[in-house]
Structure 1
């Protein structure tokens, strides 16, 4: 931690105590005294929050408030190992309690004081001391310099290059790519003068690699998420406060990153990490930029991997690298090129995490836990590297070892790291790589274009990054001092924000590209189905996108209709572009265009709206920009009810308690009415597209080695209106499809909707079940009945023919 900053923070607190002393001496009753008391209390609260927040931020960054701090303040700390930072939390709480007690004491003095005389001199001395306290506090200058840096947009295009995916040269046999992010493991840890013998395995790998020795770190690249964005997109992560409308629905949707380029070339991309993917939007970043499979702590635990053997951040490195090895062997058998990116936890600040395989591993005298963990991770990397090499993986794979960022100030060996010029680790080995040492100055922004060239896709720029083997100058060469690079990047914060995160302003018209399902606003493209919420002045407040995850998640919040029915105010202007039958709830006239896309523009309460079929590829929509016309709250209420009744899935929840004590995966069962807008009848992810009622069985096979394997089988269609048939039972139907050897039934279900030919209702019900609603079912209505493994009735649910009903299943102790 920066001692000078701490010293000045302490001085600021002392000055504030003097201010407190003088203001107590000036306490008086009456209107003026009351106003002073209220103002002083509010200012004191602000000072305590500012000081406490700064002390924590400075502990992490060494420079006080920076983009990493504001990024986490805005997007939360889900997935972070908070218990590691308990002393900091207690420090923050202590500061707040201290100032709270001062405020309470001051207010108490105010109430017991009966004097109405106002002492001017102590008052102004107190006010002066408050100004001095704020002036000398590093938090104040730090915050002001961050928020009010001059923003320049004009010269950004001179340095920024947006990759043209269509112009990427084709490669006959693309190489695979295996990218190891090594948490905070900067190049100085490999310096034998500083840490002799710490990373012997990486030194061996370095002998087979092209090693870049002068890879610096820019502002906006000093924490994990920022390091990943910098190294894959050629952009710093500097986009937090300039865009008031930014919401974490997409991660830099307009940036073209390494994953986008590789995906365009037919790569199958995956990410594996030990931490929670929700932390800092990491999972969203990968999913939005070409990665098909993104696995973190939650995904592994869901597969019973690592559960019970976790640290406060997630999986230990031995577990992660074991899973990585198995996955790479599987992918390598496929014909298409693949890329796997991973990041470990073992070397994470502040103390590291020693894997179980390394319980007896020590570095030096063993007093530094982080160095012990780094020594362990190095051994695990060497073990994995040799195993992959023996499998022949490196014959057609480029392998990268790189730090995500420099080690932060919170690590114990920080002072030792500072004894030499600090650089990030960046080594490339594998197919076609000839060992070499490169001393060209660069930053993590240059990693993606450099790697792309090693994959034989040519030398080109990506964002602000340049190929370190190419001819174009890097930022580190253009601005030879680190502070010059950072100053330039900070001056581009706004243009980076608005170019890759922000929403353009709406004009009176916007275009629809039907062929590629995009909304075109000021030359920026946004996919649909989508709901755009905007103000009468044309300022977009939010863009929501339709999702197919609603059934797997058991949550209506993935439906645009949920937002309209539950979260939008009556006179909020919006443009909704979706399937015509979905929009027919608001305008029944659109219901005739089944299979097509339409739009609806207005507000829920507006008596005037615009809606129509999107009839051709380049349609233009004239937007309603005025919400001041007649408002009908009854119409809004009607629309909300209709949306809830017709467009949302009507959920229920059932808890199964099978005899087995195996922890089963949560799942869903749904049934769509014949006229339902959400057309989905499914059991545990298996879709049933035909109308009618079906008996379905879900069974599983379990072994300690392979875990649980599930199977969903449609056993038989059920006819309830065929008078010519004999009576039948579920038990009879279940015998028509014997269980596969080794499988055990988990549950049975009857799902779907009643056949339309059942005009006289159900005339031929089942004989062996107590299904109260089944006999009263009308043609086209959705129906779900659930049975346990012994075919005992557990739950029954029906709906109207224009509804989709669903059940969220939980098992044993999963509640």
Structure 2
């Protein structure tokens, strides 16, 4: 229908030379909007979403050319149509000709235009624009949608819940090959869900999020996705499935190959119903693993699954019902790990190493599940397998990119006497546990924002995503962190700072509501993100140990920064020790300020200016701003990286030539560490940049500087600590944190 309407609009726009410029320009605008929606829909499958706007205003680096080629072709077709329409209108107006010998063509054109305005693509663009730019989300609007598990569990099955790292459903049919034949056979024998989507929205798409999505039925809303370790209370107001199982008399145990502390996973599990956790350290402490059994991501899956079987056997012989969960690691990006246990069972893949790891994981998981189904305990056991998220960039990405719209998460339920079932109901990982409990006969069909897919009703999150109404869900999920108000009191603790009843590690920063209420909390890369946090004229709260800011005082230095003043607050173990107000405009509210954050490899780092950001590579980085005819522009043009910890030499002539070609100053910064065992590369950089201080850098000591007119000005941080610096790009001045807060002594 819409295609006929657009065609008619185009025909009647140029059918008469009267008002032809107005009609053709308006028609062209409609075609531009439709093209925007159509091409966006090719990327997302849901038209225009917040992910589209994110990509428009951020880098598209890493996007597959194969993936965008067809979109460019479609865009070219629309451009030709629009240009032809405008050219035709100019010709007809100049010649005063009419294409159609009809009366009232302008009136007919107006009616067609009015009929198009309520169309899906117009509505989608309007709602997505409003949701992205003019709506912070209304938690109250979805309060009734959030459900807690309160029912009693009459039939107490034992549950084995497997998180298969990145093992998405797509691998059972990729480039004409099934790389997970074992799991596919199990899925065909029991119950499989083939439409578990991962829409490009906040709160889903990585391991910690996958745990929260499934267990709590909510997106994991935090500004820095793996900063959960900085919270003492992890989602303190959330109700999650393991806690409910605890009320039903269940034992709960979680086994993972990685360190449980990563991303605050230990806090999340401990505070939400898991009575015991077996992680990488547990294996080492109990002599269950040797160094050969460990990869960079953790304990190898063959050993992890052996331990999981031992735990399943032990717990099955006890009278108490149990929930046993495990998380694999060997299919982690970028290439995975192929294990000796898979040799002679799974062929290796030299071209795409990840696919060999996928096939290896399939072999090991299938064997583990078959041991359960062949055991005497299967009668009362339900096995669930899900992928915690779609696979991130990896060696097989060229193949996955070709089927980007068809990618789905894996979700299988294995239960004795279950009839083979294929469920194609559209849902997300939020809907997994409600579906499992519904199948178990429990009176629990909803958990958090998740709902059972057995009744063939689309999951709540995916349904509201299509309608452009996700921000209300994000706002509610954010409230489950129980963010405090500065009016609730503030004091120093042994490990950080307490604000009201909540406690956090340092540094910490946040936008502030008018009543002192903190919004979403940030912990890393302050300089890089500061101006983003204070957009929309928000006030800003920042706190750090004074000594970490080169302020020679004990206690915490905290600040409340507004557009025209800074309130300096000193905090100790008893509370606020002193306050001072500086009535000057902070530099954070100025334009053309570059924020630069360097850190070790485990923390966020990068540079940001005027909402344009870049990442920093490990080692040493040289940053060049763009140039215009008038001079230096406030936009990052180039980042050149030298891995000075990996290479023993650097291209001296190349760097010298690069510096000589620049019209203005350049900025340089370390990241992770510029110096390792061999100090020769950094010493050579010290000579090239005329910065002798570089030669005294210590391991993982960050440095930020400016090279101009043959000389360098630098600032060095404290070894092993993040380092934040601002740079005024109008006069190329380094601005330390204490200077930004007008608090240097």
Scaled by the length of structure 1, what TM-score is found?
Answer: 0.46
Scaled by the length of structure 2, what TM-score is found?
Answer: 0.50
Give the greater-gyration-radius structure (CA).
1
